[in-house]
Amino acid sequence: MTATSTRTFSQVVTSIEQLRGIVDPPKPDALSVLKERTDLDQHCRAFITQSPFLLLATSGASGRCDVSPRGDAPGFVHVLDERTIVIPDRPGNRHLDSLRNIIENPHAGVVFMVPNVDETLRINGRACIIEDTDILGGMVMQGRVPRLGVVIEAEEVFFHCARAFKRARLWQPDTWIEREALPSLGQILADQINPPGLDATDLDRSADESNRNLY
């Protein structure tokens, strides 16, 4: 069941004109405009090669959105040419949220991250799903070939500034909380769904077993 919010707001921005009345557009010669490109140059490729983690954003035909984390050894995303990347689809929860969205709406956005680097690389473009063994056969991990891959043909590529990461101080260990400050996933699931016959310890044990089978 999907919860529907009943909250109302007195001041809602409903048009681009209203939005631009609040925030001025960038100037044509602004760096944020000039840095946008449609190809993957040597700097983009180097960043992708060093990246062990990305966020994949998709949207279905109904407008339903999804953001999915994808991670593996650095360089797990392959650059096929100056416009095209392929992301291996490793085993997950089998919901296939991203893949179903791409079938309905073949567009996607990706944010690449590199640990200890505050800048990110963003790629937006057309997406499709492949089961091409010639390509996927080169993306083996622990002897397992991915059954599917997400291909994105770049339409917009740019490096994003460091402001968000610097505000968050994301990579600074002195800001990191102790893991015990938040409940374990097993405890969260026990509280949220209260599965019959299973307690938090059972659920944590099941999650640990699943996490050991990464590929």
Q: What is the CATH number of the domain that holds 71?
A: 2.30.110.10
Q: Tell me what pLDDT residue 5 has.
A: 67
Is the pLDDT confidence value at 106 over 50? yes
Note whether 113 and 181 are same-domain residues: no
d(CA 214, CA 190): 23
Is the pLDDT confidence value at 6 over 80? no
Q: Count of domains in the chain?
A: 2
The percent of residues above 90 in pLDDT, for the chain, comes to 89
pTM, two decimals, is 0.92
What is the 8-class DSSP label of residue 181?
G
Is the pLDDT confidence value at 1 over 70? no
Ranges of beta strands (E only) in the chain are: 53-59, 65-71, 78-79, 84-89, 107-113, 120-130, 148-160
For the chain, the residue count is 215
Segment 37-64 shows an average pLDDT of 97
Q: Tell me what pLDDT residue 2 has.
A: 52
- Output the six-digit token pair for 116: 């200890």
DSSP-derived 3-state class of residue 61:
coil
Note whether 187 and 95 are same-domain residues: no
Note whether 86 and 105 are same-domain residues: yes
Note whether 41 and 141 are same-domain residues: yes
Q: Does some domain include residue 21?
A: no
Q: Does some domain include residue 39?
A: yes
The percent of residues above 70 in pLDDT, for the chain, comes to 98
Taking each helix axis from N to C end, the angle separating 185-193 and 200-212, rounded to the nearest 10 degrees, works out to 130
Q: How far apart are the first and last CA of the chain?
A: 32
Q: Does some domain include residue 15?
A: no
Is the pLDDT confidence value at 4 over 70? no
Is the pLDDT confidence value at 164 over 90? yes
Note whether 99 and 144 are same-domain residues: yes
Note whether 99 and 59 are same-domain residues: yes
Note whether 107 and 144 are same-domain residues: yes
Q: Tell me what pLDDT residue 20 has.
A: 95
Note whether 128 and 81 are same-domain residues: yes
Count CB atoms within 10 A of the CB of residue 101: 24
Q: Does some domain include residue 19?
A: no
Note whether 135 and 204 are same-domain residues: no
Segment 87-107 shows an average pLDDT of 94
Please state, rounded to an integer, the average pLDDT across all residues of the chain.
Answer: 94
What range defines the domain where residue 192 resides? 177-212
Note whether 129 and 79 are same-domain residues: yes
Segment 126-150 shows an average pLDDT of 95
Note whether 89 and 194 are same-domain residues: no
Looking from the CA of 22 toward its CB, the CA atoms found within 13 Å total 8
Note whether 103 and 205 are same-domain residues: no
pLDDT level of residue 90 (50, 70, 90 thresholds)? very high
Q: Does some domain include residue 13?
A: no
